[in-house]
Each structure stands twice: as C-alpha cells, then as structure tokens.
Amino acid sequence: MRIVDAAVVVTSPGRNFVTLQLRTDAGLTGLGDATLNGRELAVAAYLSEHVVPLLIGTDAHAIEHTWQSLYRGAYWRRGPVTMAAIAAVDVALWDIKAQVAGLPLYQLLGGASRDRVATYGHASGRDLPELFDSIRARLAEGYPAVRVQTGVPGLQRVYAVAQPDADTVLPVVEDWDSAAYLRHLPGVFESVRNEFGPDLPLLHDVHHRLSPQQAARLGRDLEPYDLFWLEDVTPAEDQSALRLVRQHTTVPLAIGEVFNTVFDYQTLITERLIDFVRSPVTHFGGITAVKKLLDLAAVYGIRSGLHGPADISPVGMAAAVHLDLAVHNFGIQEFTGHPPAAAEVFRGGYTFRDGHLHPGEAPGLGVTLDLDAAAAYPYRRAYLPVNRLHDGSVHDW
Ligand code: EZ4
Ligand code: CO
C-alpha cells in the first residue's frame, strides 16, 4: 500500500489547527495533527514544501522506517517545527494501519490497560471566590482532578487568569513578579484545601517562571496541600535545574510540554528528577516517539500526563487518548475541550463523560475531517502572550 496524496489543511474554527491528511492507493485516508500554537504556518510549510514530496510513493505500512527517514534523513534534527511535522505523518500512518487492521488504534498499541482515561480540567480565578466558582464548575462537569491557577495581588494580567482581548493580533502582554507569586500561592492552596477537602487531586502550572532556588522553596511551601503535581517549575530546557529542586522537596514534579524528543528528558528520567512526562503526541514526533518515551519512563516508575490544551487538535487529542488507554504507566490526561466550531470540522475521535475520555471502537484513530467545513474557517494570525516584569523586561511566559 503506497501513499499517493497528501494535503495540509490549515483551518481556524475558533482557533488555528494544522492537519495532515494522507491518502493511499487503497483509498484509505489517515489524519495527523501538526498544530504548533502561534507558529502554525511554519509547520504547514515544512510539511508541504519538504516532507510531502518525500512521502508520495512510499510504503504506508513502514511507520518506523518513515519516522527514522524523516528524523535522521533531514540532518537538522529535533525542534518543535520538525517534530510536529513528523508527528503528523506518524499519526496519519498509524490511523491508516489501524483502519487496514479493522481495529481501533489502541489495539495496535497493546490493547486497553484500563476502562477509561481520567482527565484533569482547568480552574482559575482572579481571587478566591472566582477561583472557588471555577473549581465547582469543573467538579459539576465531572472532572476527577483540577488544575488551580490564580491571580496575584499587584499583577494585572496573569497566565491562565487574564482574558485575551477580542481581536488582538499582536501578543497579549501579561505581567509577572515571582516574589509576589511565591508569597501568595501557598495561601491560595491552603484555602482551596480547606474548602474542597483532602481528597480532590489538585495540580498547578508554574509555566517555567522560577529559578531552581525559588522552585525548591515553592515545592516545600506547597507540600502540606498534597498536590498531584507541580508543573514546569523552571525553564524546561535546563534539565540540571531540577536536581536542586528535587533535593529540597517531595512535591511531585511534571515537565515536558515544550519538549520534542526523548533527549530532552535524558537526565530527568535517568536521574529520577521528575514524576510525570508531559509531552503531547503532536509536538514529540507522534505515537511512535511518545510510546518509546513512556516505555523509558516506565523503567524509572515515571508516569504520563500528556499535554492537552485546546491547541492540541481533536486529531492530536484522539491519538493521545488511544495511547493513554493502552500504556500501563498512564498517570492522567489534561483535557480542556475545543471551541464549539471545531466540532463542525473534526468529528469523532473520543467521547468525554464523567471527566473521563474513551477513544471508542471505530477502526483507526476514529476522527473524520470535513474539508468544506474547514474551508469555511480560514487561518487567522495569532500569537501566544508574552510576559513582562515591572521594569518592562521580558520574563519566561
Ligand atoms: O501554555 O497550550 O499546561 N498547559 C499549558 C498550556 C500552554 C499552551 C501553549 O500553547 O501550559 O496553557
Ligand atoms: Co503547562
């Protein structure tokens, strides 16, 4: 079975998504997600200009060989653009192979290890009353675990709390003060624990903003509140930073949503510096690569917590859910859903009920792409926010 055609579809039903659709001489199509938030067209061009010409005529069943050819054969390895493009090809080929087998994709990954996939949702508020309402809303939706993000006194616009202005094209500017945040956050978690009790799994995302010393202090200050995990405490490219954090706190650490190969985790996993790996299928070279990552992590007792924001498309999310159902060392899946219009473009892939996901039993990935609906939502340039300190200098976002 040969690949005969490939289309790169850029669409914006509420937000931008990049999708690769491969077609074979057997008339099958496979889908892969190539969405890189704020840099979407770079991946679209990488695919259409550089990857698609290499794929036409190749064996659609040779997933590992194609992966290695695109990774090693480019000479310029790694990076989010390259690895998102490889991920899209990889997932589309797994989709096709599972359709040929007549099986849902998770069956080709070893079959189901669990009945359903537990998720966590996002709660946030500028102050405690708003935050409590947000947590109650997630619990009412059935989420078994909640990520808690809060405003900080003295800061106007904080990650996950500030609402974006309508129709901004240039990046939203948020503000940041690590000292104010470090003083404020432990009290917020104390209040949340007092209000919601000891059983609710709570998570928090630091979004790469602290020095190792600050992160160590925060981890220690949060220990009484028994977090499920503390995410991205330091800038992620600095693997050795987590040695210092780990020496000072037992808080479970999660990292990796911006990583793109297993080498980004080499020190972290082999030295047992983290508890959860966060890489999504979409930015990490696909199912082939994330499965290998999770198998390495399993050797060290480290579990999965794959990135699942709205900028992972329904195609990328479906791939994650198949993997989550199959691997033994699953931890939790982030899930926020997508803008309503996305359901006009992407159909199927998984169901979400009582805070849990299931990929269903349709052969392949289970997602269909409506090209007419996609064309009705043209690409719109969009950026992630940037972060500024009080003196105007740039801080990690
Ligand atoms: O900032 O998906 O854990 N989730 C996150 C997300 C990321 C965005 C980046 O595109 O950190 O909110
Ligand atoms: Co995060």
User: Mutate which of 277, 307, 387 to test ligand 1's pocket (most atoms within 8 Å of Cβ)?
Assistant: 307
The H or E element that residue 85 is part of is helix 80-101
pLDDT at 169: 78
User: Mean of the pLDDT values across residues 241-249?
Assistant: 98
- Indicate which residue's Cα is closest to atom 4 of ligand 1: 309
- CA gap 177, 5 in Å, rounded: 50
374-385 mean pLDDT: 97
In angstroms, what is the span from residue 62 Cα to ligand 2's centroid? 33
- Asked if 181 is an active-site residue, the reply is no
Q: Which of 158-162, 185-189, 273-277 has the lowest mean pLDDT?
A: 158-162
Is residue 168 scored above 80 in pLDDT?
no
- What pLDDT is recorded for position 165? 67
Assess whether the C-beta atom of 257 lies below 6 angstroms from ligand 1: yes
Q: Name the token pair of 309.
A: 């924001």
pLDDT score of 158: 95
**Ligand 1 pocket, 174 CB below 6 A?**
no
Residue 372 CB coordination number (10 Å): 8
Lowest mean pLDDT among 127-141, 162-176, 278-292, 297-311: 162-176
In the Cβ-directed half-sphere of 275, how many Cα atoms lie within 13 Å? 16
| Options 122, 204, 207, 208, the catalytic residue | 207
Cβ(205) – ligand 1 distance below 6 Å: yes
Q: Which of 65, 170, 117 shows the shortest CA–CA distance to 322?
A: 117
Cα 245 to Cα 233, 357, 385: the distances in Å are 9, 33, 27
With cut-offs at 50, 70 and 90, classify the pLDDT of residue 166: low
Does residue 164 surpass a pLDDT of 90?
Answer: no
322 classed as catalytic? no
Ligand 1 contacts CB of residue 37 (under 6 A): yes
CA distances from 246 to 215, 254, 263 (A): 10, 12, 20
Percent of the chain with pLDDT over 90: 98
Distance CA 119, CA 45 (A): 33
Q: Whose CA is nearest to atom 3 of ligand 1?
A: 307
pLDDT at 293: 99
Mean pLDDT of 145-155: 98
Ligand 1 atom at minimal distance to the Cα of residue 147: 3
- Rounded to an integer, the average pLDDT of 338-354 is 97
Are the beta carbons of 273 and 226 closer than 8 angstroms? no
Residue 163: predicted pLDDT: 79
User: How close is the Cα of 321 to the center of ligand 1, in Å?
Assistant: 18
Mean pLDDT of 262-278: 98
Does residue 311's CB lie within 6 angstroms of at least one atom of ligand 1? yes
Please state the atom number of ligand 1 nearest to the C-alpha of residue 312. 2
Find out whether the beta carbon of 385 lies less than 6 Å from any atom of ligand 1.
no
- Tell how far the Cα of 394 is from the centroid of ligand 1, in angstroms: 18
Burial class (CB in 10 A: 0-12, 13-18, 19+), 331: buried
CB-CB contact of 78 with 260 (8 Å): yes
Ligand 1 centre from 382 Cα, in Å?
A: 15
Residue whose CA is closest, atom 9 of ligand 1? 37
Give all domains of the chain, ordered by start, each with its CATH number: 3-103 (3.30.390.10), 108-365 (3.20.20.120)
pLDDT of residue 167: 66
Q: What value does the mean pLDDT take over residues 288-306?
A: 98
pLDDT in tens, 169-190: 789 999 999 999 999 999 999 9
Whether the Cβ atoms of residue 346 and residue 315 lie closer than 8 Å to each other: yes
Under a CB-based contact definition with an 8 Å cutoff, are residues 373 and 344 in contact?
yes
- Residues 97-118: pLDDT tens digits? 999 999 999 999 999 999 999 9
Q: How far is the CA of 374 from the centre of ligand 2 (A)?
A: 28
pTM summary value:
0.98
The answer, yes or no, to whether any atom of ligand 1 lies below 6 A from the CB of 279, is: no
User: Which pair of structure tokens corresponds to residue 294?
Assistant: 């999770």
Give mean pLDDT, residues 326-337. 98
d(Cα 268, Cα 274) in Å, to the nearest integer? Answer: 6
Q: What is the pLDDT of residues 23-34, one digit of tens each?
A: 999 999 999 999
386-388, strands of its sheet edge to edge? 173-175, 386-388, 394-395
Examine the pLDDT at 339 and tell me if it is beyond 80: yes
Averaged pLDDT score across all residues of the chain: 97
| E runs forming strands in 237-370 | 253-255, 276-277, 303-304, 333-334, 346-348, 351-353, 356-358, 367-369
Report CA(72)–ligand 2 centroid distance (Å). Answer: 29
pLDDT value of position 267: 98
Helix (H, G, I), strand (E, B) or coil at 391: coil
- What is the per-residue pLDDT for 162? 87
Neighbours of ion ligand 2 (CB under 5 A): 205, 257
